[in-house]
A and B are shown apart, each in its own frame.
Chain A
Amino acid sequence: MLKGVTRLVSRVHKLDPGHFLRLGTQAPQSLAAQLDNQVSFESPRAISCTSENDPAKHEEKHEGLHYNLPLQDVKTIFPHGLPSRYAMQMKTFNEACLMVRKPALELLHYLKNTNFAHPAIRYVLYGEKGTGKTLSLCHIIHFCAKQDWLILHIPDAHLWVKNCRDLLQSTYNKQRFDQPLEASVWLKNFKTTNERFLSQIKIQEKCVWNKRESIEKGSSLGEVVEQGITRVRNATDAVGIVLKELKRQSSLGIFRLLVAVDGVNALWGRTTLKREDKSPIAPEELALIHNMRKMVRNDWNGGAIVLALSQTGSLFKPRNAHLPQELLGKEGFDALDPFIPIQVVNYSPKEFESCIQYYMENSWLQHEKAHTEEGKKELLFLSNANPEQLERLCAYL
């Protein structure tokens, strides 16, 4: 059955994608007539999906089409990275399909042409709520993983500045605070993503945890990570060391580093955490945030920094705020100052059509009217081509 799909798809691939919408109903019938042995109910997949599963080869002609991510890859690359609704959808459909969209294509183009001798360029994905910033970020990460970069992915920086139960005073620096739980969770995921690099990279400084334990210079990064995971109290320091080493060594050219942070406005906003005497903590006083800020500065080379803003988890920011200036604040904006902004917008008509086709192929839209033109117009009106709203709407149907 899979063979049939790829054969069908490769034929359709030669068609001009601009005509996909119009030929949508006609193409499968003509193809099915030719390949009468093949199962015809699979052929509509060709309209909204493409077989090009390697992000490196995605181009404008693939715009609006979904491509499949193998589930094994998803487990390694995104142990914690996918938004919860998307993860639910993945579980339901039993496959992970991402849509190729213009902002991601733009970013891919830049990344392919990066000069690794220059300092790392910062790209900021911004846009209204629910337009697809996080998933575009995931697309980029997938591309970089395929290209064998080392991925430093923070799924949501807002998780580090709110709802933290235990804050320890940092052993490294008395003024700062540690967050053992978050740090250890992150280290575990980091290990899953970048297994193969951990043994290759050697640390260049000795790190002393306490009187009895220390790690010598020249041992692999894997050991540091292990130490962080097993000894939760030192997890934050482990994170700090990992970040410092990665930054130092990416300039050497052994590997290429991608720093991907979602919800980057958390690094410069306010926190909801308080000390024991109920006085609020500024983000600088959290060790994780402090190290992250150093990471996001572009004083290293050999990689790229891709950031995505998010209003959803942000603290003390109005609902309408979506521009970088509003969400980052003056401090954040200055810190990130030379960056390339990439706006993520709602679906274009073609993308919208493709999304609906995808849902229909997976038999997700059960309502009779959803298949008709009027139904599609209704969905378009109600969601105004916003991906998140469309997904929530279709969940009812």
Chain B
Amino acid sequence: MAASCVSCGAAVSRRLLLRPPLSLAPRQVLWKAAELQSVPGPQILRLKHVTVVTTKKNVKAPRRETYTVDFIKKQIEEFNIGKRHLANMMGEDPETFTQEDIDRAIAYLFPSGLFEKRARPIMKHPEQIFPKQKAIQWGEDGRPFHYLFYTGKQSYYSLMHDAYGKILDIEKHKNQLQAKGLFSEKNKTIDLIGSRWLIKEELEEMLVEKLSDQDYRQFVQLMERLLQSGAAEEEFVQSFRRSVTVQSKQQPIEPVQRDAQGMAFSTSEGKRKSAKAEAVVYEHGSGRIKVNGIDYLLYFPVLQDREQLMFPFHFLDRLGKHDVTCTVSGGGRSAQAGAIRLAVARALCSFVTEEEVEWMRQAGLLTSDPRVRERKKPGQEGARRKFTWKKR
């Protein structure tokens, strides 16, 4: 029996802890299996009980882990191989296995009940997981490669230098043309609508350097000056612009009205806090509203709730023209009123022109209110209220 224990113990790896982290627990128990390979025959697993006690109290905070280029490359290879294995497992074609397929496969194979989405298992390309870091900037002799290394922010200053150089080039070109008389006043201004400059965080990410606010402002000013001087360097400038979603009115996709018994109506839902409402708005009516089968005057005796219901109609000037039947559940009286308002506004979108839909969106009628009750924290009486402070 002892022999069989030993043989299965042989499969256990010998060194269990590879690299202890810098902050050690004061006591650690190391189990070391005895040296097995050299001694044949029946062996006894001699377990050495070793306690390690650190005396370090002021441990420095660990520096950010630097990943070497080789390490990143290895990770990328491993990722690609793993991707192919995963595709095989799921029975799909490894060649056309996209990132979304990977996400779905991982969610299927490792179902997680954690609330925080970022804590769930992920499998992404190493570029997205490991933060971008600079390679070693100097050679063996200690001499830096880049000529602006000693400014501290080499990529930023080199970018500014290049941009300014381009401006000067364009000016020189313009002067030459003017001298020759071939300068034409055609202003090929680049269309700036629908795109925006990079924000500071994006620029930092691009240059892998920390910037200050003044640096960022200088950068934007230089870019704008470059634009003004001419349309020659369009690609260069556009690489620093991101497009803004056109008019951002993509969310409300209102369902087209349906017909039943000849009456045109449209249905939609709305939510607020924990109340859910579903509203059916008829196109031709006389302004009657029924909530859960009860007249709205009796269901909402408070004026404020009725004003909430009135808001979509009043905004579109259609006060007595529609009939509404809705069902609502959950929440309190104010939440139910807000939910019905949202549902009614979304349903009205289908009877109304696109311009009016845009107005409604700007008025805030089509946005669902994200405010939810804040959680009570331990050590406090409520979400924000602290316990009474007593001096002694």
Q: List chain A positions with a Cβ less than 8 A from chain B.
A: 128, 320, 374, 377-378, 380-384, 386, 389, 393
B30 part of interface (Cβ distance < 8 Å): no
Tell me if B298 and A128 are in contact (CB < 8 A): yes
Tell me if B320 and A384 are in contact (CB < 8 A): no
> Which of B92-100, B223-231, B276-284, B302-310 faces chain A?
B302-310
Tell me if A382 and B296 are in contact (CB < 8 A): no
| A383-B295 Cα distance, complex, nearest whole Å | 12
Residues in chain B near residue A380, CB distance under 8 A:
287, 319-320
Tell me if A382 and B306 are in contact (CB < 8 A): yes
Scan residues 259-313 of chain B and give those whose CB is less than 8 A from a CB of chain A.
287, 294-298, 303, 306-307, 310, 313
**Given the contacts A374-B317, A374-B319, A377-B319, A382 and B295 also touching, CB distance less than 8 Å:** no
Tell me if B296 and A384 are in contact (CB < 8 A): yes
Tell me if A381 and B297 are in contact (CB < 8 A): no
Residues in chain B near residue A128, CB distance under 8 A:
298
Residues in chain B near residue A374, CB distance under 8 A:
314, 317, 319
8 more contacts with CB within 8 A, not counting A380-B319, A381-B313, A382-B307, are: A374-B317, A378-B310, A378-B319, A380-B287, A381-B319, A382-B310, A386-B297, A393-B303
Tell me if A381 and B320 are in contact (CB < 8 A): yes
Residues in chain B near residue A383, CB distance under 8 A:
297
Tell me if A389 and B297 are in contact (CB < 8 A): yes
Could you write out 15 A-B pairs with CB less than 8 Å apart?
Answer: A320-B294, A377-B319, A378-B310, A378-B319, A380-B319, A381-B287, A381-B313, A382-B303, A382-B306, A383-B297, A384-B295, A384-B296, A384-B297, A386-B297, A389-B297
| Residue among B296, B306, B307 facing the most chain A CB atoms (10 A cut-off) | B306
Scan residues 314-371 of chain B and give those whose CB is less than 8 A from a CB of chain A.
314, 317, 319-320
Q: List chain B positions with a Cβ less than 8 A from chain A.
A: 287, 294-298, 303, 306-307, 310, 313-314, 317, 319-320
Residues in chain B near residue A381, CB distance under 8 A:
287, 306, 310, 313-314, 319-320
Residues in chain A near residue B303, CB distance under 8 A:
382, 393
Q: Which residue of B lies closest to A396 (CB)?
A: B303
Say how far B257's CB is from chain A's closest CB, in angstroms: 23
| A320-B293 Cα distance, complex, nearest whole Å | 13
Q: Which residue of B lies closest to A322 (CB)?
A: B298
| Residue among B296, B297, B303 facing the most chain A CB atoms (10 A cut-off) | B297
Residues in chain B near residue A389, CB distance under 8 A:
297
Residues in chain B near residue A382, CB distance under 8 A:
303, 306-307, 310
Tell me if B320 and A377 are in contact (CB < 8 A): yes
Say how far B85's CB is from chain A's closest CB, in angstroms: 64
Residues in chain A near residue B307, CB distance under 8 A:
382
Residues in chain A near residue B298, CB distance under 8 A:
128, 320
Say how far B316's CB is from chain A's closest CB, in angstroms: 12
| A386-B287 Cα distance, complex, nearest whole Å | 14
| A128-B303 Cα distance, complex, nearest whole Å | 17
Say how far A17's CB is from chain B's closest CB, in angstroms: 23
| A386-B295 Cα distance, complex, nearest whole Å | 12
Say how far A247's CB is from chain B's closest CB, in angstroms: 39
Q: Which residue of B lies closest to A129 (CB)?
A: B298
| A389-B296 Cα distance, complex, nearest whole Å | 13
Residues in chain A near residue B310, CB distance under 8 A:
378, 381-382
| A377-B314 Cα distance, complex, nearest whole Å | 9
| A128-B310 Cα distance, complex, nearest whole Å | 22
Q: Which residue of A lies closest to B303 (CB)?
A: A382
| A383-B294 Cα distance, complex, nearest whole Å | 15
Residues in chain B near residue A386, CB distance under 8 A:
297
Q: Which residue of B lies closest to A373 (CB)?
A: B319
| A389-B301 Cα distance, complex, nearest whole Å | 9
| A374-B315 Cα distance, complex, nearest whole Å | 11
Q: Which residue of B lies closest to A383 (CB)?
A: B297
| Residue among B295, B296, B319 facing the most chain A CB atoms (10 A cut-off) | B319
Residues in chain A near residue B295, CB distance under 8 A:
384
| A374-B295 Cα distance, complex, nearest whole Å | 22
| A383-B306 Cα distance, complex, nearest whole Å | 9
| A184-B319 Cα distance, complex, nearest whole Å | 52
Say how far A39's CB is from chain B's closest CB, in angstroms: 35
Residues in chain A near residue B294, CB distance under 8 A:
320
Say how far B348's CB is from chain A's closest CB, in angstroms: 15
| A381-B298 Cα distance, complex, nearest whole Å | 13
Q: Which residue of B lies closest to A346 (CB)?
A: B297
Q: Which residue of B lies closest to A393 (CB)?
A: B303
**Given the contacts A128-B298, A386-B297, A378 and B320 also touching, CB distance less than 8 Å:** no
Residues in chain A near residue B319, CB distance under 8 A:
374, 377-378, 380-381
| A240-B294 Cα distance, complex, nearest whole Å | 43
Residues in chain A near residue B306, CB distance under 8 A:
381-382
Residues in chain A near residue B296, CB distance under 8 A:
384
Say how far A60's CB is from chain B's closest CB, in angstroms: 23
8 smallest A-B Cβ distances: which pairs? A384-B297, A377-B319, A381-B310, A382-B306, A381-B319, A386-B297, A377-B320, A381-B287
Tell me if B314 and A378 are in contact (CB < 8 A): yes
Say how far A161's CB is from chain B's closest CB, in angstroms: 25
| A247-B287 Cα distance, complex, nearest whole Å | 49
| Residue among A128, A381, A389 facing the most chain B CB atoms (10 A cut-off) | A381
| A333-B294 Cα distance, complex, nearest whole Å | 25
Say how far B294's CB is from chain A's closest CB, in angstroms: 8
| A374-B314 Cα distance, complex, nearest whole Å | 9
Q: Which residue of A lies closest to B317 (CB)?
A: A374
| A128-B295 Cα distance, complex, nearest whole Å | 11
| A377-B310 Cα distance, complex, nearest whole Å | 10
| A381-B303 Cα distance, complex, nearest whole Å | 11
| A383-B300 Cα distance, complex, nearest whole Å | 11
Say how far A148's CB is from chain B's closest CB, in angstroms: 40
Residues in chain A near residue B297, CB distance under 8 A:
383-384, 386, 389
| A383-B314 Cα distance, complex, nearest whole Å | 14
Residues in chain B near residue A377, CB distance under 8 A:
319-320
Say how far B62's CB is from chain A's closest CB, in angstroms: 64
Q: Which residue of A lies closest to B307 (CB)?
A: A382
Say how far B307's CB is from chain A's closest CB, in angstroms: 7
| Residue among A374, A382, A383 facing the most chain B CB atoms (10 A cut-off) | A382
| A371-B296 Cα distance, complex, nearest whole Å | 25
Q: Which residue of A lies closest to B296 (CB)?
A: A384
Say how far A369's CB is from chain B's closest CB, in angstroms: 11
Residues in chain B near residue A384, CB distance under 8 A:
295-297
Residues in chain A near residue B320, CB distance under 8 A:
377, 380-381
Residues in chain A near residue B317, CB distance under 8 A:
374
Say how far B205's CB is from chain A's closest CB, in angstroms: 52
| A43-B157 Cα distance, complex, nearest whole Å | 83
Q: Which residue of A lies closest to B313 (CB)?
A: A381
Q: Which residue of B lies closest to A128 (CB)?
A: B298
Q: Which residue of A lies closest to B288 (CB)?
A: A384
| A393-B303 Cα distance, complex, nearest whole Å | 9
Residues in chain A near residue B313, CB distance under 8 A:
381
| A381-B295 Cα distance, complex, nearest whole Å | 12
Say how far B287's CB is from chain A's closest CB, in angstroms: 6
Q: Which residue of B lies closest to A377 (CB)?
A: B319
| A378-B287 Cα distance, complex, nearest whole Å | 11
